[in-house]
Amino acid sequence: MNEGRAAIRYAKATLDFAVEKKSADKVEKDMRLIKDTIAENKELATLLGSPVVKNADKKNILNEIFKDCGEITKGLLGILTDNKRVDLLKEVALKYIIQYEQMKGEDVAYVTSAVPLNAALEKKILAEVTKMTGKKVTLENKIDESILGGFVLRVGDLQYDASISNKLNGLKREFTNSL
């Protein structure tokens, strides 16, 4: 099965169960914590994807790192490790957040830029994205100096890459193909 589709299915099942148990808000906070923790810790991401580390060890490590999370989240961690799909954890967390926000009629626009956005630019981006989606939108700005300049905007499954690094890579491909 495609990893993206599998992550969506795990996220949807978790969301449905969390809504049934009236814990969707708590699980959403847990998913944000999981997503951010894995994104900030490359060693953890490597460990989760490693076929060498035993699933029981992965489960113990995750339970220790996320010991303050709710029972539904801990259940998801257990299911993913038992099914040998724990490498999808970050993707499942992201898909859960997206589905939860869509359920509430909201969207989050993730803007990756080389420098922090100023208030005027944030306001302008929010206005455009709100007009484009027709939903209430919040903005999350991530700083990544490797994009050199410009920005990458992601709302739900839509992505617009206006980064300088992307444009340079495009030029490099064109030059390489024309030789």
User: Which tens digit of pLDDT belongs to each residue from 117-129?
Assistant: 888 888 888 888 8
Say whether pLDDT at 114 is over 90.
no
Q: How confident is the model at residue 141 (pLDDT cuts 50, 70, 90)?
A: confident
- Report residue 50: phi and psi, to 5°: -75, 125
Q: Residue 148: left if φ>0, alpha if ψ -120 to 50, beta else—which one?
A: left
Domain with CATH 3.40.30 in the chain: 106-178
CATH 1.10.520.20 in the chain, residues?
3-101
- To the question of domain 106-178 being in CATH 3.30.1360, the answer is no
Residues 6+ apart with CB under 8 A from 79: 10
Closest CA to 107 of 150, 79, 86, 138: 138
More confident: 42 or 2: 42
Residue 153 has pLDDT above 90, yes or no: no
The residues with which 140 forms a beta bridge, in sequence order, are 110
CATH architecture of 3-101: Orthogonal Bundle (1.10)
Would you place residue 108 in the very low, low, confident or very high pLDDT band (cuts 50, 70, 90)?
A: confident
Say how far apart CA 103 and CA 107 lie, in whole Å.
Answer: 9
pLDDT of 1 strictly over 70: no
pLDDT at site 166: 84
Residue type at 18 in one-letter notation: A
Question: Is 170 a residue whose pLDDT tops 90?
Answer: no
Torsion of CA 24, 6, 138, 133, to 10 degrees: -120
Query: Tokens representing 136?
Result: 């209430």
- What average pLDDT does range 88-99 have in this prediction? 91
Q: Name, in order, each residue with C-beta under 8 angstroms of 18's C-beta and a sequence gap of 6 or more.
A: 24, 26, 27, 72
pLDDT of residue 2: 65
Structure tokens given for 99: 């589905």
